[in-house]
Amino acid sequence: MKFDDVLETIGPFGKYQKIRCFLLCLFSSVSAWHALNMVFIGAQPEFHCDNQNMNISSSKISNISDAGLLELLVPDDSCQQYDEKDVIIFYDNSTGVHRLLSSNMSTTDCIRGFWYSKEKYSSTIVSQFDLVCERKFWKSTSKTVFFFGRLCGAVLFGQLSDRFGRRPMFFVGAAILLVAGSVAAAAQNIYMFLPMYFLQGLAHTGIFLVAFTLSTELVGPEYRLFVGFMIQMFYSVGYMTLSGMAYLLRDWRYLELAITLPVVLFASYWWFLPESVRWLLSQNRNEDAQKYLQKAAATNGTDLPPSIMESLQDGKTVQKNRTYHFLDLVRTWAMAKLTLNICFNWLVNALVYYGLSLNTENLAGDPYLNFCIAGAVEIPAYILCIIFLNKVGRKRPLVISMCVGGIACILSGTIPINGNSDIKTLTIVLAMVGKFFITASYAIVYLVASEVFPTVVRNIGMGVASMSARIGGILVPTMLDLKSIWTPLPLVIFGSLSITAGILALLLPETTDKPLPQLLEDVPNKSKKLKLKTVADEKERFDSSKV
């Protein structure tokens, strides 16, 4: 008997699973807050050289308005100001023709620091730490550090949760996130902020991967799709609610605390969140697995037959002291092809998703409202996936969404506008079509990855795939800079890569209503194996376990 058969006996998606999956979905919203908070805490308000406290009391310039003084003092470059002595001399000896005279004056750096507008943002790390002009690279560095933290978190938590279990790594990550977010909110300079922001990226990505894996391992095959997309939809809810929090809390320190302190509530999960039964069985911890199964059966109002553990093939197929590592993802040709295909698809999805988000023309109006809308447009894509994926499978929608999204990107970039407003609208619509389909494909490939990797290396595989996505995100700014060579080039590259990844997705196995693979041998391997000693050893062990 397979574990999925056991789930059918006790209830594939009963009250026990619904409660746990809902709790994990709640964290998905918090994860979105931390993933996207830089949009607000790192926003750059309007700024210019500070013109306060000038010693102008004995000059005619003291009679002009603040707007006039600003015009005199500050050139078009917000990082420069005119020499104050020159300003006073020119103005006192002129009839007040500001711009004509100022064109002959020398400029200097902002000697009194900077003035920042508080119209949209009360305070951000940019205004707090003066991350403008020659220090503006720190803002982009912060994003790079965060993505690097996400990359490390994907790999580290993937490896550790497959070795020590999903449950303990969830709480370790929550503790790191709570401490890092709280210290970051109190940071006095960018040097103190960056290490904490790195840890935030590491922790939130690691926990999200654990939560996603836990939820899909809790339910039967026919409900994995629904649960996987519900987590993604709660992520979009977090996307939208972040805009409301940022609107009410315009100071970045308060916002950072507001998205961090709720992590304390996840300490209560200690009494509700189970360890993955699949993982326990893969580690030969059959007694612990049986306890969770009995509790699930009781909660669901069903019975667990006493002999069911003895009939589980999955519970006795992992060799004692067998530790799985990254190399197991490429230990056979079948696993290597599967891993590389999944990783390439994740990289392309992240690259195109974030590339379109940054390259699409900004919506007019309030930035908080625009951000909320950007999160809301993802929900229809998820709903359509929930409706159709169990009916038509995973692979076909993945291929179609990536290819259609890629075609939309290429058309959006290459259609000549020539000042035609209707054509311009069409290119924006095509870009949004591309974003809609790449949102759907991103969610699908997330689900596919959780279903194709064997249990013994599932979190390692998810971690490596997520690492690939982080690399894709890091590449986005470089790709967008290619527009200096040819304006449509970034969108053409995004579209071409999306189509390529969609075609390669045809080689992935269909996972709809299929049992989750437990061991490396459960991945079909029709081609020659790599000549690694441990492969033969594991095959011999697997054969003997069926006797």
Residue 58 belongs to a domain: no
Residue 349 belongs to a domain: yes
C-alpha atoms less than 13 angstroms from C-alpha of 287 in its C-beta half-sphere:
0
284 and 433 fall within a common domain: no
Query: Where residue 175 sits, what CATH number does that domain have?
Result: 1.20.1250.20
Distance CA(428)–CA(360), nearest Å, equals 7
Q: Which residues span the domain enclosing 142?
A: 1-46+124-317
Residue 536 belongs to a domain: yes
The total number of structural domains in the chain stands at: 3
**Mean pLDDT lowest for which of 67-76, 450-459, 467-476?**
67-76
311 and 326 fall within a common domain: no
91 and 139 fall within a common domain: no
User: Cα-flanking dihedrals φ and ψ of residue 455, to 5°?
Assistant: -55, -40
87 and 128 fall within a common domain: no
pLDDT > 70: percent of the chain: 80
Residue 199 belongs to a domain: yes
Residue 470 belongs to a domain: yes
546 and 431 fall within a common domain: yes
172 and 300 fall within a common domain: yes
Which among 271, 290, 317 is the end of a domain?
A: 317
Residue 85 belongs to a domain: yes
274 and 217 fall within a common domain: yes
Task: Give, in degrees to the nearest 5, the angle at Cα 351 between 349 and 355.
Answer: 120
Section 528-533 average pLDDT: 40
- Reading the block at residue 241, the tokens are 């609610």
Res 532: pLDDT: 41
Section 390-394 average pLDDT: 83
334 and 308 fall within a common domain: no
Res 398: pLDDT: 92
State the amino acid at position 311 in one-letter form. S
Distance CA(425)–CA(21), nearest Å, equals 41
Residue 352 belongs to a domain: yes
39 and 110 fall within a common domain: no
More confident residue, 371 or 538: 371
C-alpha atoms less than 13 angstroms from C-alpha of 430 in its C-beta half-sphere:
20
Which among 116, 133, 156 is the end of a domain?
A: 116
* Residues belonging to the chain: 547
Section 172-196 average pLDDT: 94
Section 446-472 average pLDDT: 82
326 and 313 fall within a common domain: no
Residue 47 pairs with which residues in a beta bridge?
116
Section 302-327 average pLDDT: 63
Computed over every residue of the chain, the mean pLDDT equals 79
**Mean pLDDT lowest for which of 311-320, 418-427, 529-538?**
529-538
Res 65: pLDDT: 57
Res 328: pLDDT: 80
- Which pTM value belongs to this model? 0.76
List of residues 6+ apart from 302 with CB closer than 8 A:
9, 10, 11, 14
Residue 295 belongs to a domain: yes
220 and 297 fall within a common domain: yes
271 and 392 fall within a common domain: no
pLDDT of 12 > 90? The answer is no
Q: Give the closest residue to 38 by CA, choosing from 116, 130, 126.
A: 126
pLDDT tens digits, 98-127:
444 445 667 777 777 787 888 888 889 988
State the amino acid at position 479 in one-letter form. M
